[in-house]
Amino acid sequence: MNNLLMLPVILPFAVGALLILLVRYRKTQRMISALTSFAMLGIAIFLAYEAYTTGVITLEFGNWTAPFGIVFVADLFSTFMVLLSAIVGVVCLFFAFNTLHSEREKFYFYPFYFFLLTGVNGAFLTGDMFNLFVFFEVMLLSSYALIVIGGTKYQLRESFKYAVINVFASILFLVGLAYLYGITGTLNMAHLAVRVGELEQTGALQIVAMIFFLVFAMKGALFPLYFWLPRSYYGPPSAIAALFGGLLTKVGIYAIIRSFTLIFIHDPDFTHTFILWVAGFTMFFGVLGAVSQFDFKRILSYHIISQVGYMVMGLGLYTRIAIAGAIFYIAHHIIVKTALFLFAGATEKITGTTDLKKMGGLLKTHPWLAWMFFISALSLAGIPPLSGFFSKFPLIRESLVIESYGIATVALVVGLLTLFSMIKIFVYAFWGEQAHSKEQASVSVTKLLFAIVPLVALTIILGFAAEPVFNYSLDVADQLLNPEIYINSVLGE
């Protein structure tokens, strides 16, 4: 039973390796990858259910007991993230079938797609700092390949910077690991949590904590380390940009939340207040970037930054309801942001551009697309009764309860500016004079909409059925705020 825990990592890896051999057979590739992505969704649902009913599942590789061997740990948080990544995995794949240029498919798109999912799932499930590094690298190396696939001039120029920045972050990660191992003598997360508690989180350990925060902040695009994100997410085709926008930054956020609710929790006055400040700046500057842009994809990319801020804000407030809000926000964001990037892809397929000033009048020719986009845009901005409202509400309420009025104000203003920039997209792209030709008006996007409908439905469901989901988030938060559960199940008291 426990061995099932390997499947979200092993399955995409094996399938990815197989698809390298089948790279010439397009139909076979598509069929295998579609089946695999559904299988992964099934496994993820099963794992989430198991972790919910039976508690934390651990797997010790080769029966080497916990602090010495490699462990995989599936608690509520990690299985939830695996489930979300499986959903995004299915949807982006089906969108890619219909939009991706066949040249790109031949250049090993599917293998890298699955290697990326391997890295993402591995990073969620691992219970070991060094394996976190390894899975980060698996994920990043495939993301370098995916971001440059196709090799246009723009992509080559920006991917080089993207790659260098992320490699630099990985080197810092290694430095942090070296110090951590030198000080505590272990890299197993549960064991680390115990050791850091014994040694007291002062002096050198505080610096290590900040190095890790810096590394994860670079991957999660927090202030002031977000500058690489909008440019590099603009380059690749929308199916890939959606996968990145939905998943990649969230892996950094996952790592921050994991390490600052499990390991470095002994000086919250310093660390979590610092995180709260960073969150405020991230939200604010991210949304300012979005307001200043006039390009569909760029606005969405800047929004990723501001919304990552909300998730970290939940961690910075560090109360039960705030962390539950952050978990809910992650779910909401992964779903809605992926959907919005796919909408960008659909409009790009019709009009051939992502520049808002060259668009207009899509509402008349493609009403379904327009209204579904409208729903997602409102959800992103946090209009009730969609999921965005119910994920922001607990965060803002909680910040008022513990009297951090500054962050509450920032969060409210950012929500308003988000609404403003989403409405800007809607006004420029869907209202107004028809800017596209008759041929473009007759382009059918029904197939593409089929890929997006599940996401739009999910955001509506998350809104109308907010209570059960929020209760689940509260359970996740309870588990995160009681690290003993995690520690005991790994080290086996």
Partner 1 sequence: MEILMFIVIGVLFAVGTYMLLNRSLLRVIVAIMMLSHGAHLLILTMAGLNADAPPLEHMADGGYTDPLPQALILTAIVISFGITAFLVVLGYRTYKVHNTDDLEKLRGSADE
Give the residues lining the site for partner 1 (CB under 8 A): 130, 133-134, 137, 141, 144-145, 148, 151, 153-154, 156-160, 163-164, 167-168, 170-171, 174-175, 177-179, 181-182, 187, 231
Cβ neighbour number for residue 397 with a 10 Å cutoff:
13
Q: Which is nearer to partner 1, 182 or 492 (CB)?
A: 182
Choose among 250, 126, 252, 134: nearest CA to 190.
Answer: 126
Upstream peptide bond of 224 is cis (omega within 30 degrees of 0):
yes
Q: Which is nearer to partner 1, 185 or 367 (CB)?
A: 185
Least separation in angstroms between CB 386 and partner 1 = 33
Upstream peptide bond of 8 is cis (omega within 30 degrees of 0):
no
Least separation in angstroms between CB 174 and partner 1 = 4
The structure tokens listed for 480 are 């995160």
Q: Which is nearer to partner 1, 298 or 303 (CB)?
A: 298
The structure tokens listed for 386 are 């969609």
Based on its alpha-carbon atoms, the radius of gyration of the chain, rounded to whole angstroms, reads 22
In three-state secondary structure terms, 461 is helix
Least separation in angstroms between CB 182 and partner 1 = 3
Q: Which is nearer to partner 1, 161 or 364 (CB)?
A: 161
Q: Which is nearer to partner 1, 143 or 479 (CB)?
A: 143
For 51, 124, 127, 488, the CA distances from 61, given in Å and listed in that order, are 19, 16, 11, 18
Least separation in angstroms between CB 212 and partner 1 = 14
Least separation in angstroms between CB 399 and partner 1 = 35
Q: Which is nearer to partner 1, 114 or 234 (CB)?
A: 234
The structure tokens listed for 99 are 């939009």
Least separation in angstroms between CB 224 and partner 1 = 17
Taken in order 489, 116, 210, 298, is the CA torsion positive or negative?
A: negative
- The amino acid present at 328, given as its one-letter code, is F
- The amino acid present at 191, given as its one-letter code, is H
The DSSP bridge partners found for residue 121 are: none
